[in-house]
Amino acid sequence: MASRTETFAALVAREPDNELFRFSLAQALVTEGRGVEAVPHFEACVAKKADWMMPRILLGKLLLQLGRRADAQPLLADALRLAVDQHHEDPERELRALLADF
């Protein structure tokens, strides 16, 4: 039986422009401790949809874990703007706390 990562990697290979497959693959890679490999998939999601908050949050947090604070900050700030605009209170609180450390 294929792992989640293998399943989504096959779907991405078949449909590389499908941001939902890329998002799921990125999440599976992070779960497996393969965050560096997840970065380009989260980046593709961010590039594809200007109003999609979750990939920005997850990519920003991942970049923080990878020691890439300067790259994480604008993503987290953009995610905060989206959280406020879209009335997502819990992500807004989390993002404000993360950004307070910058």
Residues 10-29 pLDDT 10s: 999 999 999 999 999 999 99
Q: How far apart are CA 19 and CA 71, in angstroms?
A: 21
Asked if 13 contacts 5 with a C-beta cutoff of 8 angstroms, the reply is no
pLDDT in the model for residue 2: 80
CA 6 to chain centre: 19
54-87 pLDDT, tens digit per residue, is 999 999 999 999 999 999 999 999 999 999 999 9
Tokens of 89: 């209170």
Count how many residues are written for the chain.
102
pLDDT of 1 > 90? The answer is no
Q: In the predicted model, what is the mean pLDDT of residues 40-64?
A: 97
Please choose, from the candidates 35, 84, 19, the residue with its C-alpha nearest in 3D space to the C-alpha of residue 76: 84
Listed in sequence order, the residues at least 6 apart from 86 whose beta carbon sits closer than 8 Å to its beta carbon are 51, 53
pLDDT in the model for residue 101: 87
pLDDT in the model for residue 32: 96
